[in-house]
């Protein structure tokens, strides 16, 4: 859909996509040859994915690929990324040096009356990135590195985890003023040379009162982290959250069953060092912004 809405229609990438679909591109997963030969839409089954149907569609696309000529298979020209590739706003959003990069996932527990139409169903899970630049993650570091030293944590290190709806699958537009209670605390539990072990605890009481969210959420958080003073970075960060999310207004195109559901999330240091490492936080535009990455 983003291709369809992109204002630049002159680049080869945009012409390739829109030409193949004749400007009728819709959301989905498709197969095509590099020369632009359309070979089919692979989505099968909704809301329950049909793995057998998708496999059959892929086999059919492969058979079509083998049957077409070489000119329909392979692109005849060499692409120049500097000229042929579309430029997107998110290309300017980069990870500042020293960013704490967490890979986070969340999933719901079973609840009464649930169906697979509802994104809160346990069959769905949310995988995302959670970023904190140095000026933010230092809020977790107590001023003294002694066992028992602690600090109350404010700012993005406390709020971003829930504001970006990492705990609430299929919802909700949370804003900072929706956090009505709770606090976060970071405590030194051990010191071993340059390694400082931290225990981070938090609880959240949230209530939305906007046009887009009238939900409530009550949850708790526990994280065990190790900060290395010499390297000035976290070498370990394991986080778990558990909470109860209640939908304030049940929407017929989103929810089925009980309005109350339990949610769990877990986060660890992102171990990726390949193309997957370039995955941006889903809510990069509104949850962070371009200005966020330009001011580490």
Contacts of 62 (CB under 8 A, 6+ apart): none
Q: What is the pLDDT of residue 220?
A: 97
To the nearest whole percent, how much of the chain has pLDDT over 70? 96
Ranges in the chain, pLDDT < 70: 1, 23-25, 167-171, 275-276
Q: What is the pLDDT of residue 55?
A: 97
Q: What is the pLDDT of residue 170?
A: 56
């Amino acid at each position: 859909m983003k291709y369809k809405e992109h204002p630049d229609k002159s680049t080869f990438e945009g012409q390739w996509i829109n030409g193949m679909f004749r400007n009728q591109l819709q959301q989905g997963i498709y197969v095509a040859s590099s020369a632009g030969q359309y070979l089919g839409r692979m989505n099968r089954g909704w809301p329950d994915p049909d793995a057998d149907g998708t496999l059959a569609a892929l086999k059919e696309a492969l058979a079509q690929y083998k049957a077409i000529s070489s000119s329909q298979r392979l692109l005849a020209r060499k692409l120049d990324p500097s000229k042929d590739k579309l430029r997107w706003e998110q290309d300017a959003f980069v990870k500042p040096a020293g960013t704490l990069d967490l890979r986070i996932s969340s999933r719901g527990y079973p609840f009464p009356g649930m169906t697979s139409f509802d994104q809160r169903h346990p069959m769905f899970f949310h995988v995302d990135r959670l970023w904190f630049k140095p000026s933010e993650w230092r809020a977790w570091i107590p001023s003294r590195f002694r066992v028992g030293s602690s600090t109350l944590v404010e700012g993005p290190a406390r709020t971003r985890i829930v504001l970006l709806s990492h705990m609430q699958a299929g919802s909700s537009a949370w804003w900072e003023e929706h956090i009505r209670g709770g606090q976060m605390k970071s405590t030194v539990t051990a010191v071993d040379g340059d390694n400082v072990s931290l225990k981070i605890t938090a609880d959240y009481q949230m209530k939305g009162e906007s046009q887009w969210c009238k939900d409530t959420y009550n949850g708790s958080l526990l994280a065990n982290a190790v900060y290395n003073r010499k390297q000035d970075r976290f070498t370990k960060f394991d986080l778990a959250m558990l909470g109860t999310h209640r939908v304030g207004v049940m929407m017929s195109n989103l929810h089925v069953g009980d309005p109350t559901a339990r949610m769990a999330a877990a986060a660890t240091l992102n171990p990726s060092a390949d193309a997957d490492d370039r995955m941006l936080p889903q809510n990069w535009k509104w949850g962070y912004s371009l200005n966020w990455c330009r001011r580490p």
